[in-house]
């Protein structure tokens, strides 16, 4: 199956799972309304798709990965809602729609983001995963989101504005703010299907490099694409003087940097069967050439 068709088929399966979750969880809470809005406001669903592919590569079925993929998409959406707030990136457009705080007000948006973290944990805990898998995934969520990952990455990203950082520091920020969630997708998808530590380690390493490449492409698109195409602000990294590989290297070398990170992602899968990892390899190549 062609990679575009494959991604789109998995996205459809995930979107239906999300809709069914929201139908079952329906509540008249304004916080529920706000986070449902942000969860359903579009988005590539790259992380749930990655989680499904990791699960299949580890010998599982794509549907087994859906609760894990949903929990990760919730955490991702929390990070976007909070990142868009006036105190952080102060954005008015996300996924082609008004940001959560523009639509519902700042207080509700803060609480919607907060709620998504706990909903994500609840999705894992109420899934049919065996108890030890639930514990492993919840522990990994906590690990990748705290000061080793997402929150620290956001902090360093904000603190780096207006400063000239070397490539190693930029790579470190990318790893925390972006790769950790990709590692989580690979970990959770694989863990649902397998407890082979070597396999899981290789999968997670793929996520590390893929996340760096993804962030570099994101930063290149910020310069080369438009608000209409991206469905979010463009050209802002320059205005905010963000620490990116584009700032450090220029566009052409940033593309080479992203290509090299993609190759490293594929190298991380070495030794695993071509049939087992073919889709992950195709996904990495597709990601490098994405336009949104």
The contact set with ligand GRG (CB under 6 A) reads 43-44, 46, 79-80, 82-83, 95, 150-151, 153-154, 157, 177-178, 215, 218
Q: Minimum CB separation from ligand GRG for residue 215, in Å?
A: 6
Q: Minimum CB separation from ligand GRG for residue 255, in Å?
A: 16
Task: Give the nearer residue to ligand GRG in terms of CB position, either 7 or 193.
Answer: 7
Task: Give the nearer residue to ligand GRG in terms of CB position, either 78 or 129.
Answer: 78
Task: Give the nearer residue to ligand GRG in terms of CB position, either 95 or 255.
Answer: 95
Q: Minimum CB separation from ligand GRG for residue 59, in Å?
A: 26
- What CA–CA distance (Å, rounded) separates 115 from 216? 30
Q: Minimum CB separation from ligand GRG for residue 261, in Å?
A: 14
Strand segments (E) across 190-287: none
Residue 41 main-chain phi, psi, to 5 deg: -80, 35
Q: Minimum CB separation from ligand GRG for residue 218, in Å?
A: 4
Task: Give the nearer residue to ligand GRG in terms of CB position, either 184 or 193.
Answer: 184
Structure tokens at 63: 């549907």
- What CA–CA distance (Å, rounded) separates 153 from 149? 6
- What CA–CA distance (Å, rounded) separates 235 from 282? 29
Task: Give the nearer residue to ligand GRG in terms of CB position, either 43 or 60.
Answer: 43
What is the helix (H) or strand (E) element at residue 26, kind and residue range? Answer: none
Composition of the chain by helix, strand, coil, percent to 5 = 75, 0, 25
């Amino acid at each position: 199956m062609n990679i575009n068709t494959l991604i789109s088929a998995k996205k459809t399966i995930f979107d239906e799972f999300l809709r069914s979750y929201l139908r079952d969880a329906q509540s008249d809470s304004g916080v529920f309304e706000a986070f449902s809005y942000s969860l359903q406001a579009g988005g590539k669903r790259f992380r749930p798709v990655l989680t499904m592919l990791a699960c299949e590569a580890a010998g599982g079925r794509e549907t087994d990965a859906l609760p894990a993929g949903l929990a990760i998409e919730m955490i991702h959406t929390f990070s976007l809602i909070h990142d868009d707030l006036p105190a952080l990136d102060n954005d008015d457009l996300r996924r082609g729609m008004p940001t959560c705080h523009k639509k519902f007000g700042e207080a509700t948006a803060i609480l919607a983001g907060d709620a998504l973290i706990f909903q994500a944990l609840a999705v894992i805990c109420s899934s049919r995963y065996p108890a030890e898998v639930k514990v492993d995934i919840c522990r990994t969520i906590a690990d990748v989101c705290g000061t080793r990952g997402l929150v620290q990455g956001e902090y360093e990203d904000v603190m780096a504005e207006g400063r000239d950082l070397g490539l190693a520091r930029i790579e470190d920020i990318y790893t925390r703010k972006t790769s950790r969630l990709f590692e989580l997708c690979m970990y959770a998808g694989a863990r649902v299907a397998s407890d082979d530590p070597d396999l899981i380690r290789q999968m997670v390493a793929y996520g590390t490099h893929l996340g760096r490449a993804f962030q570099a492409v994101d930063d290149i698109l910020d310069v080369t694409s438009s608000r209409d195409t991206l469905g979010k602000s463009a050209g802002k990294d320059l205005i905010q003087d963000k620490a990116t590989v584009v700032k450090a290297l220029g566009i052409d070398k940033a593309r080479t940097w992203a290509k090299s990170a993609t190759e490293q992602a594929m190298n991380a899968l070495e030794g695993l069967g071509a049939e087992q990892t073919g889709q992950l390899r195709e996904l990495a190549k597709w990601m490098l050439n994405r336009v949104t």
